[in-house]
């Protein structure tokens, strides 16, 4: 079964509003999580590294005030898209490593549509 | 991490073996080669990882020549459900603890 769960899987919001996406590690602790976005027919683009108990590290070109990341516990990281605009519409995916394995476990993704 | 190059798309038919080759000319000594599979509207899923020679699991085989500048993912007897995008990545040994840089991937279409 899934070891990383994202919620919601789909969300539609109005321009100007904020949307929060949750990423949970199930049955294991994740001090680090990663957030990606993916446009249709394109590859995953890393947005930021979420670190439990400290500030997130953003990739170049990603606005930290636009995409707020909070990793308040060892099993939960949240991505908040603030003042969303239609160009923020995308597929957002999180991943987390699990101790004892070398692979990354990905959530099922969140489809955000801003209207 | 080394950049990877793989075919943009491939077509196959049910029951055939599919081989997807990935080029990673600048792979470093400590790097591993990892493949992920992604279905539409889902997050990627780990398929296989290797360092050299051949690795096989219940899903696929990974062939890595001695110079490690390329690798080939082999999917035996594909079915329609193998239609997906396959990503080749060069990763550090700690794998998921490091950020992953995805290339364009190979879009595999399996036909009846």
Residues in CB range of B99: below 8 A, 6 or more apart: A34, A46, A49
Q: Which pLDDT tens digit goes with each residue over A22-36? A: 999 998 899 899 999
Query: What is the spatial distance between Cα B10 and Cα B32, in angstroms, rounded to a whole number?
Result: 24
Query: Is B43's CB within 8 Å of A109's CB?
Result: yes
Residue A102 has its nearest CB partner, among B42, B93, B105, at B93
Burial of A81 (0-12, 13-18, 19+ CB in 10 A): buried
Query: What is the spatial distance between Cα B32 and Cα A105, in angstroms, rounded to a whole number?
Result: 17
Q: Are B10 and B18 in contact (CB under 8 A)?
A: yes
Residue B41 has its nearest CB partner, among A4, A101, A109, at A109
Residue B97 has its nearest CB partner, among A4, A32, A36, at A32
pLDDT of the residue at B98: 77
Looking at residue A59, what DSSP letter applies?
P
Q: Digits of tens for pLDDT over chain B (112 positions)?
A: 678 999 999 999 999 999 999 999 999 998 999 999 999 999 999 999 999 999 999 999 999 999 999 999 999 999 999 999 999 999 887 666 778 889 999 999 999 9
Give the distance from residue A42's alpha carbon to the nearest chain B alpha carbon, in angstroms: 7
Give the distance from residue B66's alpha carbon to the nearest chain A alpha carbon, in angstroms: 22
Higher pLDDT, A1 or A88: A88
């Amino acid at each position: 079964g899934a070891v990383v769960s994202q919620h919601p899987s789909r969300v539609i919001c109005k321009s100007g509003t904020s949307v929060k996406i949750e990423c949970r590690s199930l049955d294991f602790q994740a001090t680090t999580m990663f957030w990606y976005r993916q446009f249709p027919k394109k590859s995953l683009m890393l947005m930021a590294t979420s670190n439990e108990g400290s500030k997130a590290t953003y990739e170049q070109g990603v606005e930290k005030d636009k995409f707020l990341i909070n990793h308040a516990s060892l099993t939960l990281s949240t991505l908040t898209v603030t003042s969303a605009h239609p160009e923020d519409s995308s597929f957002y995916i999180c991943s987390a490593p699990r101790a004892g394995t070398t692979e990354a476990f990905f959530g099922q993704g969140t489809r955000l549509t801003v209207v | 991490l080394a950049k990877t190059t793989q075919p943009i798309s491939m077509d196959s038919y049910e029951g055939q073996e599919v081989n997807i080759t990935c080029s990673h000319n600048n792979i470093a000594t400590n790097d591993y080669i990892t493949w992920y599979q992604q279905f539409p509207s889902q997050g990627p899923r780990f398929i296989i990882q290797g360092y050299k020679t051949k690795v096989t699991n219940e899903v696929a085989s990974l062939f890595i020549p001695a110079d490690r500048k390329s690798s080939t993912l082999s999917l035996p007897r594909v079915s329609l459900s193998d239609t997906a995008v396959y990503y080749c990545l060069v990763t550090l040994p700690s794998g998921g603890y490091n950020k992953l840089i995805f290339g364009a991937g190979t879009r595999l279409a399996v036909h009846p």
